[in-house]
Amino acid sequence: METETMMPSPPTKSEGVRLKKELRLMEAVSVIVGLIVGTGIFVSPTGVLQETGSVGFAILVWVACGILSTMGAICYAELGTLIPVSGGDFAYIREAFGDFPSFLFIWDAVFVFVPTTNAIMALTFANYAMQPFYGTCEVPDDAKRLIAAIVICEFLEFHVSLFPTYFINLVSNSDAGFLTFLNCWNMKITKKVQDVFLITKISALVIVIIAGMTYLFMGHYESFQAPFENSSSSPSKIAVSFYQGMFSYAGYNYLNYMFEEVQNPFVNVPRAIYISMPLVTLLYVLANVAYLAVLPPSVMLASNAIAVTFGDKVLGIFSWIMPVFVAMSALGALSVHVMTSARICFKAASVGLLPDSMALVSLRKTPAVSLTFLGILSLCYLSTSQVSRLIDYAAFVESSFICLSIMGLLYFRWKKPDAHRPVKVFLPIPIFFLVICLFLVIFPVVERVEEVGVAVLITSLGIPIYCFAVLWRSKPQCIKRFHDITTVQAQKLFLSLPQDDYDGDEDDDDENDEEKKNNEDLKRRRNRKVGESCMICFLFLSHLRKEEEFLGSLASLFRRGMSRRYDGHSNSAVAKPAHAKYFMGHGHAGGHHGDSLLQQQHHDDEAIIISSREPSINNPRWRRMKEPSPQDAFGFNGAMSYIGGKNIIKAESSTSSSP
C-alpha cells in the first residue's frame, strides 16, 4: 500500500506528460533573486577588491555590474517575449544563427559553465558550513570537496525516489537526498522550500548591511579616507574585476530558461526582471559598503570566507549565525541553478541536438534525465577547489554566448522589424551592453591566458562532436540501436516519457484561455463595483426628491442581498430579493397627502408591503414625475439596469383624485 501511494500515478489523456506552468510572478521573482543572491556576494568581494586595487574603484565596479546586469536582463526580456520558448540563450542563438552555434552553446553549457557553477556553489557551501568547526584554521581541500560532493549528490539521489519504497524512505530520511527529492518530487513543494532559502539569504544580507551601517555611523571611516588610492589602470585587470562582479549577478537571464513554465509569461517575466534587478543591485552595493566599513582592505584580501570573518568581528557570541545563513544561501542558489539549467539540455534534446533521453519528462513533470546528467558532470569539476579559477572558466564562456544572444537581438531588430514585441528595449541599450560584453571577453585574454585557453579548447572540442552527432545523418544501425536502447532504459530507470507536444500546446491554450477568462471576470467585477458606487451616488444626488423612484432604487439594492425593515407610523417597508410588481394607490384630493397601500403579489408565499405617501394629481411635482425628461429616464432606468435590477418600480397614477 505504501508503494502505491508514493509512486506517481500514470498521466491521463487530458493532462499528458509535459512540464507544467506553475511559476507565478512572485515565484519568478524568487527564481531570479534566489539564483543571483547566492555565493558570489560572499566570495567575490575579495576578488573585485584585489583586481581594482582600491575601495572606491571596487564600489564603482559593483554599481556598474548591477547597472550592466539590469540592462542585460531587460534585453533578455525582449528576447523572451519575442521568442516565447524555454531554453534561454540556446533558443535565441538557434533562432538567429542556426544549429551550429547553438550546439556549441549547449556543448559549453553542459561541459563548462553549468557544472562549473554547480561546483562553485557546492564548494562555497562546504567552506562556510565547515568553517565554524575549524576556527581560525583553513578548511582542508579534501573536506570541502567531500562536503561539496555530498551536496551535489542530493540532486542525484532524488531520482532514486522514483524507485521502490525503501529507497524513498532512505532518501526522505537522509539529509543527502533532501533537495534532490524536493526538486523532482513536487514542484510546488520545491517553490515553497525556495521561498525559505530566499528569506534566509536576504536575512544574511540584511544582517551584514545593518551591522556595517552601524559601524559607519559610529565614525569608522578608515577604509574610505582615500577611496581611490592605488587604483588599477590595467584594462585586463579591470575586465577581470568585472568578471568577478558579474559572477555575483549571474542568473538574471535564467528565468528565460523556464519561460514555458511561467504563467502569463509575456507579463510576468518582464515584471519579475524589473522587480528583481534593482533590489539585488541595492543589496549588493550596501553589503560591500558594510564589508568595507567593518573590515580593512588588508583583512578582506587575506580572508577566504569574508562573511564569516565579518560575523566574527561584529556578532560576538552570535557569530555562528552568519556561516549558517551563508551556507543556506549557497544551498538555495544551487537548488535553483540545477532546476533552471536542466531545461537547457531538455530543450536541446527536444530539437534533436542532444540524445532523446535528455528530452524525457518524468511522471513528476520534471526533466529527470537532464538533472542527473548535469549532476554527474558537476562532480567531475570538484577536482580543483580554486573557486576563482572556476569562476573565470565559467565567466569567459558564458560572456561569449551572451554576446551572441545580444547580437541575435540586434539581428532580429534588423531582419524582423515588424515582429510582435511585447517588450521593446531602447536600441542604444543592447548596443552598449554588447560593447561591454565584448570588452569582458577580449581584454582578459592577456591576463588569464590559461583559463581562457582551457575554455576555448573545450569549445573547440564541440566541433567534431557536432559533425558526428548532428551532421552525420546516415549512421550505422549499431549506433542507432544503441541510442534506442539507452532511451528505453532511461525511460524505465526514471519512469519517464517523451513530452506530448500536441497536448502540451492544447493545454497551454486552455490554461491561457482560463487565465484570460479569470482576468476578465476579475476586471468585470472590479468595474461593476466601481459602477455601482458611482450609480448609487448618482441616484442619491439626482433622485433624492423623487420619493417613489428613490424607494424603487432602495428596493432594487436591497434585492441584491440586503434585508432591512423600516417601521413607522406612516412609513414601513420590508424589502427582500424577490420579483415584485408594485401598484400605486390613489391620494386625497385638494393637494393633500394621504396614506395609500402599495401591494405586491405573493412570491413563494411571501408578500412585501410598502406603505408610502403619494402626492395628489394636482400637485405640480407629481405632474413632473409623470412626464420625466429623457435625462431623468435615462439616469434612473440606466442606473438601475447597470446595477442589475430586472424589476424596476413603475409608478402608475389615476386621473381621479377620489379614494
Under 8 Å between Cβ of 340 and 31: yes
Top-confidence range, 213-217, 318-322, 324-328, 386-390: 213-217
Under 8 Å between Cβ of 89 and 401: yes
Q: Which residue has the higher pLDDT, 262 or 155?
A: 262
Q: Which pLDDT belongs to residue 504?
A: 41
Residues 352-373 pLDDT 10s: 888 888 888 877 777 778 888 8
Under 8 Å between Cβ of 45 and 53: no
Q: How far apart are the C-alpha atoms of 601 and 202, rounded to whole Å?
A: 67
- Band of residue 329 on the pLDDT scale cut at 50, 70, 90: confident
State how far the alpha carbon of 366 is from the alpha carbons of 17, 158, 188, 346, in Å.
9, 11, 12, 10
DSSP string, 227-243: TTTT----HHHHHHHHH
Q: How far apart are the C-alpha atoms of 58 and 287, rounded to whole Å?
A: 12
Q: Which residue has the higher pLDDT, 517 or 193?
A: 193
How much is the average pLDDT of 516-523?
A: 62
Under 8 Å between Cβ of 585 and 568: no
Sign of CA dihedral 91, 97, 103, 108: negative
Q: Which residue has the higher pLDDT, 625 or 232?
A: 232
Sign of CA dihedral 345, 347, 350, 353: negative
Q: How buried is residue 185: exposed, middle or buried, by Cβ count under 10 Å (0-12/13-18/19+)? A: buried
Q: Which residue has the higher pLDDT, 600 or 302?
A: 302
- Band of residue 522 on the pLDDT scale cut at 50, 70, 90: low
Q: Which pLDDT belongs to residue 156?
A: 59
Cell output for 435: 560593447
Q: Which residue has the higher pLDDT, 599 or 332?
A: 332
The percent of residues in the chain predicted with pLDDT above 70, rounded, is: 63
Q: Which pLDDT belongs to residue 174?
A: 38
What integer best gives the mean pLDDT of the chain?
72
Lowest-confidence segment of 101-115, 145-159, 163-177, 190-204 by average pLDDT: 163-177
Determine the distance from the C-alpha atom of residue 445 to the mean position of all C-alpha atoms in its chain, rounded to a whole number: 36
Q: Which pLDDT belongs to residue 635?
A: 44
Cell output for 68: 550592466
Q: Which residue has the higher pLDDT, 567 or 497?
A: 497
pLDDT above 60: residue 395: yes
Under 8 Å between Cβ of 368 and 360: yes
Cell output for 220: 569608522
Q: How far apart are the C-alpha atoms of 120 and 44, rounded to whole Å?
A: 11
Record the pTM.
Answer: 0.67
Q: Which pLDDT belongs to residue 187?
A: 55
Q: Which pLDDT belongs to residue 407?
A: 93
Can you list the alpha helix ranges (DSSP code H) found in 37-113?
A: 40-52, 55-82, 89-97, 99-108
Residues 614-643 pLDDT 10s: 444 444 444 444 444 444 444 444 444 444
Give the number of other Cβ atoms within 10 Å of residue 622's Cβ: 17
Q: Which amino acid does the sequence have at 110?
A: V
- Band of residue 338 on the pLDDT scale cut at 50, 70, 90: confident
State whether residue 596 is helix, strand or coil. Answer: strand
**Phi, psi for 417 (deg, rounded to 5):** -70, -25
State how far the alpha carbon of 197 is from the alpha carbons of 300, 326, 600, in Å.
26, 10, 65
600-540-562 Cα angle (round to 5) = 50
pLDDT above 70: residue 513: no
pLDDT above 60: residue 277: yes
Q: Which pLDDT belongs to residue 464?
A: 92
**Phi, psi for 557 (deg, rounded to 5):** -70, -40
pLDDT above 50: residue 158: no
Determine the distance from the C-alpha atom of residue 294 to the mean position of all C-alpha atoms in its chain, rounded to a whole number: 34
**Residue that has been written with the C-alpha cell 489523456 in this structure:** 13
Lowest-confidence segment of 334-343, 473-482, 549-558 by average pLDDT: 549-558
How much is the average pLDDT of 255-264?
A: 83
Q: How far apart are the C-alpha atoms of 431 and 410, rounded to whole Å?
A: 8
The domains of the chain, with CATH numbers, are 2-136+155-499 (1.20.1740.10), 543-643 (no CATH)
The torsion of the CA quartet 237, 239, 240, 243, rounded to 10 degrees, works out to 160
Top-confidence range, 260-274, 494-508, 580-594: 260-274
Under 8 Å between Cβ of 287 and 112: no
Top-confidence range, 160-164, 254-258, 452-456, 599-603: 254-258
pLDDT above 60: residue 648: no
State whether residue 647 is helix, strand or coil. Answer: coil
Q: Which residue has the higher pLDDT, 195 or 275?
A: 275
Q: Which pLDDT belongs to residue 161?
A: 47
- Band of residue 428 on the pLDDT scale cut at 50, 70, 90: very high
Q: How far apart are the C-alpha atoms of 68 and 253, rounded to whole Å?
A: 13
Q: Which residue has the higher pLDDT, 573 or 25?
A: 25
Under 8 Å between Cβ of 349 and 357: yes
Sign of CA dihedral 289, 290, 293, 295: negative
- Band of residue 188 on the pLDDT scale cut at 50, 70, 90: low
Q: Which pLDDT belongs to residue 60?
A: 92
Q: How far apart are the C-alpha atoms of 504 and 390, rounded to whole Å?
A: 38
Q: Which residue has the higher pLDDT, 532 or 173?
A: 532
490-525: burial string, b at 16+ Cβ within 10 Å, e else? bbebbbbbbbbeebbeebeeeeeeeeeeeeeeeeee
Q: Which pLDDT belongs to residue 602?
A: 42
Radius of gyration from C-alpha coordinates of the chain: 34
**Residue that has been written with the C-alpha cell 439616469 in this structure:** 635
- Band of residue 608 on the pLDDT scale cut at 50, 70, 90: very low
**Residue that has been written with the C-alpha cell 521573482 in this structure:** 29
Q: Which pLDDT belongs to residue 528?
A: 64
State how far the alpha carbon of 572 is from the alpha carbons of 43, 469, 550, in Å.
78, 88, 15
Q: How far apart are the C-alpha atoms of 514 and 520, rounded to whole Å?
A: 10
Q: Which pLDDT belongs to residue 247?
A: 76
**Residue that has been written with the C-alpha cell 565547515 in this structure:** 130
Cell output for 362: 518524468
Q: Which pLDDT belongs to residue 64?
A: 92
Q: Which pLDDT belongs to residue 514?
A: 57
**Residue that has been written with the C-alpha cell 508514493 in this structure:** 6
Under 8 Å between Cβ of 440 and 239: yes
Q: Which residue has the higher pLDDT, 35 or 181?
A: 35
pLDDT above 50: residue 609: no
Task: Give the single-character DSSP code of 648.
Answer: -
Q: How buried is residue 433: exposed, middle or buried, by Cβ count under 10 Å (0-12/13-18/19+)? A: buried
Cell output for 385: 577547489
How much is the average pLDDT of 58-87?
A: 90
Q: Which pLDDT belongs to residue 503?
A: 43
pLDDT above 50: residue 585: no
pLDDT above 50: residue 169: no
Q: Which pLDDT belongs to residue 184?
A: 47
Lowest-confidence segment of 51-60, 298-307, 509-518 by average pLDDT: 509-518
Q: How far apart are the C-alpha atoms of 61 and 45, rounded to whole Å?
A: 10
Q: Which pLDDT belongs to residue 68?
A: 92
**Residue that has been written with the C-alpha cell 533521453 in this structure:** 357
**Phi, psi for 479 (deg, rounded to 5):** -70, -40
**Bridge partners of 262?**
23
Q: Which of 186, 191, 193, 185 has the alpha carbon at shortest distance from 162? A: 185
- Please name the residues in contact with 219: beta carbons below 8 A apart, sequence gap of 6 or more: none
**Phi, psi for 323 (deg, rounded to 5):** -60, -30
Residues 401-414 pLDDT 10s: 899 999 999 999 99
Q: Which of 105, 122, 652, 172 has the alpha carbon at shortest distance from 397? A: 105
State whether residue 526 is helix, strand or coil. Answer: helix
Task: Give the single-character DSSP code of 359.
Answer: G
State whether residue 194 is helix, strand or coil. Answer: helix
Under 8 Å between Cβ of 50 and 299: no
- Band of residue 207 on the pLDDT scale cut at 50, 70, 90: confident
